[in-house]
Amino acid sequence: MEHQSSPTPHVLIFPLPLQGHVTPMLNLAELFCLANLKVTFLNTTHNHKRLTRYTNTEARFACYPGFRFKTVHDGLPDDHPRAGASNVKGWLKEMIQALASNGKSLLREILVGEKETEKVTCLVTDGWMSFANEVANEADVPVIAFRCPSACCNWTYFCIPKLIDAGEVPFKDDEEMDQLVKNAPGMDSFLRYRDLPSFCRNQDISSCRDLQDLFTGEIQRNQQAHSFILNTFVDLEGPILSLISSHCSKVYSIGPLHAHLKYRLGQNDDITLSNNSTSSLWEVDRSCISWLDLKPDKSVVYVSFGSLTILTKDQLMEFWAGLVQSKKYFLWVIRPNLIIGNDQDTQAQDGLLEGTKERGYMVGWVPQEEVLAHRAVGGFLTHSGWNSTLESIVAGVPMLCWPYFADQQVNSRFVSEVWRIGLDMKDTCDRTIVENMINDLMERKKDELERSMDRISHLAKRSISEGGSSYSNLNHLIEEIKLMSK
Ligand code: UDP
């Protein structure tokens, strides 16, 4: 009997078009390419232009013959900042709706494929875009949901409908904020109201339900997916992963993805590892590396609030003053559209600029992984975005957390209270507190934070190395996808 070889599995990857989603999903795409899977990566036209302009992404994937990009319009006007706008939730919802109406027919075309060999084996879709799951269901293509936030945040999102029913959410932004949340299994001994996602605060019940639908409704809708991918590792979030597994089909924790990709590229002699390979949607300013080169070991605080956070002028001034008063060196990412509002206090600003010249360096966007890995960086003042948290863990840099929204409130509580690899400065923005907490991070609590961070950083690296949990989970996931194509 003639032996028929099974077709090469073909994965369609569709991220929510935000920096914190595109980066890990491109890393996943490359991991699939290394396993000889065919991959189609669906970008928005806008993001694709930015990636092409600011990075070597096209060259990075040119060595994989089974890889291709496709693009779809995101439905926002060309001059929309797509980050840092004050009404993030408004335009995010608008963008997801526009993507749903622009993207469905293209999705259908790609899923079915013009030729039999192009037919898609499975759709790996961002857990935020369940409309894509509907199209895949119609085309009889299995869906794997990629959930970008931490497992602890995903689990919190799972719990929120129950918290609303129990009357615990929404709650008022007052003295009750430090009480423990009652209906949060696995977290009720340390999770306070103030650690819940910011949309749980000060809303009337109907606005809260509306936001809950945007942030957590998707996770409920994703429960029908074939499986879940999480960018985390068992040694970090094992107990929470077990809770999630009891509600979902299969859960593959395969992170930290950026480190996992580097490890597997290192194992592959055919691919040259490029140090400058980023997925940045902003132009990277590398001058910060030469500035860091001149600083003593672990002497610099790296400050970045990610791609979406916005600061008022007042908040900017408080951080600035705290940093200058701490007398530490600091490297601060001032992204375009980071700051909103006006402040007349130009004199104070000039005074601060003086202090900044001696110790500070500001840039628009940095190669963050490289910065965190630099020997001169000793601490990270962060908004607790999940990618930034994982990158800090892998680099072994303790954090001072100032969470802004969504998953960040939960992440910062786990960082400070559960993993003990950083300090939590949520809900306050005062120059004296900033100064004191930076000194705690860089001096007074430095040794204890570094001890826990070294341990967790080691576990992260072990998990993505051959035989580690994330390494094995990724192999199982790839096997599962291969079985789907048979
Ligand atoms: N980032 C970067 N350069 C910067 C600031 C951020 O490359 O100057 C990257 C960072 O490495 C991370 C991503 O932007 O991978 C931010 O994702 P995260 O989940 O931390 O936060 P978000 O932007 O989604 O709030």
Q: Which residue has the higher pLDDT, 369 or 338?
A: 369
Asked if the model's pLDDT at residue 44 lies above 80, the reply is yes
Helix or strand holding residue 143 (H, E) = strand 143-147
Would you state the pLDDT for residue 345?
46
| 118-122, 129-133, 178-182, 425-429: range with lowest mean pLDDT | 129-133
- Per-residue model confidence as pLDDT tens digits over 299-310: 999 999 999 999
Asked if the model's pLDDT at residue 346 lies above 50, the reply is no
Q: Which residue has the higher pLDDT, 244 or 92?
A: 244
Asked if the model's pLDDT at residue 1 lies above 90, the reply is no
171 phi and psi angles, rounded to 5 deg: -135, 165
| Encoded amino acid at 263, one letter | Y
Would you state the pLDDT for residue 343?
47
- Per-residue model confidence as pLDDT tens digits over 261-319: 999 999 987 776 665 567 999 999 999 999 999 999 999 999 999 999 999 999 999 99
DSSP output for 90-101: HHHHHHHHHHHH
Supply the angle between the helices 19-34 and 469-484 in degrees, to the nearest 10: 70
171: which strand partners? 201
Q: Say yes or no: CB of residue 307 within 6 Å of ligand 1.
A: yes
Residue 417 Cα to ligand 1 middle (Å): 23
Q: Taking the CA of residue 128 as centre, how many other CA atoms within 13 Å lie in the half-sphere pointing to its CB? A: 22
Contact 345, 314 (CB under 8 A): no
Q: Say yes or no: CB of residue 23 within 6 Å of ligand 1.
A: yes
| 39-48, 124-133, 312-321, 322-331: range with lowest mean pLDDT | 124-133
Q: In which band, very low, low, confident or very high, does the pLDDT at 130 lie, cut at 50, 70 and 90?
A: confident
Q: What angle do CA 185, 150, 280 make, to 5 degrees?
A: 165
Provide the annotated active-site residues. 21, 126
Q: What's the whole-number mean pLDDT along residues 406-419?
A: 97
Q: What's the whole-number mean pLDDT along residues 23-31?
A: 97
| Stated pTM of the model | 0.95
Q: Say yes or no: CB of residue 304 within 6 Å of ligand 1.
A: yes
CA separation for the pair 66, 179 (Å, rounded): 53
Q: What angle do CA 72, 217, 176 make, to 5 degrees?
A: 130
Q: Say yes or no: CB of residue 457 within 6 Å of ligand 1.
A: no
Asked if the model's pLDDT at residue 251 lies above 50, the reply is yes
Q: What's the whole-number mean pLDDT along residues 455-476?
A: 98
Residue 474 Cα to ligand 1 middle (Å): 24
Q: What's the whole-number mean pLDDT along residues 165-194?
A: 91
